[in-house]
Amino acid sequence: MESRTLEVRTGHAPAIVDLTPEVVAFCHGRGDGLCHVFVPHATAGLAIIEVGAGSERDLWTAVDGLLPRDDRWVHRHGSLGHGADHLLPAFVAPSLSVPVDDGVPALGTWQSIVLVDPNRDNPVRRVRLSFLAG
Amino acid sequence: MESRTLEVRTGHAPAIVDLTPEVVAFCHGRGDGLCHVFVPHATAGLAIIEVGAGSERDLWTAVDGLLPRDDRWVHRHGSLGHGADHLLPAFVAPSLSVPVDDGVPALGTWQSIVLVDPNRDNPVRRVRLSFLAG
Amino acid sequence: MESRTLEVRTGHAPAIVDLTPEVVAFCHGRGDGLCHVFVPHATAGLAIIEVGAGSERDLWTAVDGLLPRDDRWVHRHGSLGHGADHLLPAFVAPSLSVPVDDGVPALGTWQSIVLVDPNRDNPVRRVRLSFLAG
């Protein structure tokens, strides 16, 4: 299994980072198979959405509705509402996979693979890419 | 890696379409491995739920609560509330996989693999099936 | 493909059960690859979260907000609000996978793989582990 670990700078604000170029580069030349993406952090997830048309901001609106950043959470440390960050991966999971045809991820036209990181306290994240030959 | 692309007619209303018969047919005769299901669209997802007992309607109730179809979304074009459709895949992801034993998906008795398509504007969808031999 | 089926006692209350020790034991000695985890039940899901710091209770708070346990659901049998249990897997999916390096799941420090079972009516659950060599 071929693997690569990306280091992603997410800064000190909630961040949605497009990983598609890195995934495309990683798959290049590898033939047919599955590209598996994994985030080894407990307060971030992965999604496949359209980017650049407003859905990034909309996603935070939806996440804030589902997981309000207030003092309701038992798990509390760091910023107010950080307990919400710990729930994000239950709904926006940290593992996904995409078919790859002749080294090219078979994403739809409007699909981008993004890191969803609500966490204000960890400015650098890792993302693990793995290729399973089919 | 063996693959097949299904074309699914979802029409002009929100649709939950049971893909289990197609997945079963695709896996038949393939031995042990994983069946990966992927939707190459930015406004649809996949779920494994029970069908035929009301959960399809209930799922729209829950989705409408999480992602109301109104003018709150930055991403707006097409029908009112279409920005919500663009968020669905962040919560109901477009990739999943199921173990396959001797050509038979190892689904539980009440599990069906369904396409979840809230989009009123795209009447035909593709679903990609891939088999990774174990 | 190597597989193992766990039997997990969840009892008659909503349960979040840490499966990490079983996943670690299953992967031990298997080299590089992907560990796939699957729940063959229609009213349970899988998540990767931190355990032991309150997020288990917080997750039920969030689930109860998204899927209230009342009589709004069309799918109804068993306990009041059981229709909500049938929607959980649409949001907390029953399939996930984790990279494995030399027999060790590449989880982050604070990540645990948990079974999320809101169902009060089924005290015993199965979880299927599969290893795909890379």
CATH number for the domain harbouring residue A22: 2.60.120.460
What's the rounded mean pLDDT across residues B45-52?
A: 98
**What is the predicted pLDDT for the residue at B112?**
98
Contact check, Cβ <8 Å, C73/B61: yes
User: In chain A, which residues touch B (CB < 8 A)?
Assistant: 32-34, 47-50, 53-55, 57-59, 61-62, 65-66, 91-93, 96-99, 101, 106-111, 116, 132-134
Q: What is the pLDDT of residues B58-80, one digit of tens each?
A: 999 999 999 999 999 999 988 88
* Beta carbons of A20 and A113 less than 8 angstroms apart: yes
Residue C38's pLDDT is 98
* Burial A38-77, CB ≥16 within 10 A → b, else e: bbbbbbbbbbbbbbebbbbebbebbbeebbebeeebebbe
Which pLDDT belongs to residue B2? 96
Please report the pLDDT score of residue A78 as a whole number: 85
Q: Would you say the pTM of this structure is higher than 0.90?
A: yes
C-beta of residue C3 within 8 angstroms of C-beta of residue B99: yes
> Which residues of chain B lie closer than 8 angstroms to C40, CB-CB?
106-108, 111
State which residues of chain C have pLDDT below 70. none
Residue A47, sorted as left (phi over 0), alpha (psi -120 to 50) or beta, turns out to be: beta
- The residue type of B89 is P
> What is the predicted ipTM?
0.97
Q: Tell me, what's the pLDDT at A111?
A: 98
pLDDT (mean) for B80-109: 97
Task: Spell out, as residue ranges, where chain A has pLDDT lower than 70.
Answer: none
**Residue C107 located in a structural domain:** yes
Of C40, C76, C132, the CB nearest to B111: C40
Test C97 with A36 for CB contact under 8 angstroms. Answer: yes
Give chains near C: 3+ CB pairs under 8 A: A, B
How many beta-carbon contacts under 8 Å exist across A and B? 94
Name every chain C residue with its beta carbon within 8 A of the beta carbon of A37: none
Q: Nearest residue on chain A to B43, judged by CA atoms?
A: A49
What is the spatial distance between Cα C39 and Cα B108, in angstroms, rounded to a whole number?
8
Token pair, residue B72, equals 């709150």
- Which chain C residues have a beta carbon less than 8 Å from that of A83? 54-55, 58
User: What is the tally of structural domains in chain A?
Assistant: 1
Report phi then psi at C23, rounded to 5: -65, -45
Q: Tell me what percent of the residues of chain B surpass a pLDDT of 90.
A: 93
- Please state the separation of Cα C116 from the chain's center in Å: 4
Q: Tokens 């996943």 label which residue?
A: C23
| Domain range enclosing B77 | 2-133
**CB distance C134 to A132 below 8 Å:** yes
| Pick among B6, B34, B38, B115 to test the A interface (most A CBs inside 10 A) | B38
Pairing of strands C124-133, C2-9: antiparallel
Q: Identify the pLDDT of residue B120.
A: 87
Instruction: Please answer yes or no on whether A97 and B94 come within 8 Å at the CB atom.
Output: no
Instruction: List CB contacts (< 8 A) between B58 and chain C.
Output: 73-75, 83, 86-87
In chain A, what residues touch C36 (CB-CB under 8 Å)? none
pLDDT of residue C121: 86
Token code pair at residue B92: 């109901």
Residue A58 confidence (pLDDT): 98
Tokens at A4, concatenated: 């690569």
State the Cα–Cα distance between residues C99 and A54, nearest whole angstrom: 32
With CA atoms as reference, the chain B residue closest to C64 would be: B62
Q: List chain B residues with CB under 8 Å of A59.
A: 87, 90
Strand C112-117 with C45-49, pairing? antiparallel
Average pLDDT of chain B to the nearest whole number: 96
Give the span between the Cα atoms of A100 and A107, in whole angstroms: 9
pLDDT surpasses 90 at B119:
no
Torsion from C-alpha of B39, B45, B51, B57, nearest 10 degrees: -140
Q: How far apart are CA A111 and CA B42, in angstroms?
A: 5
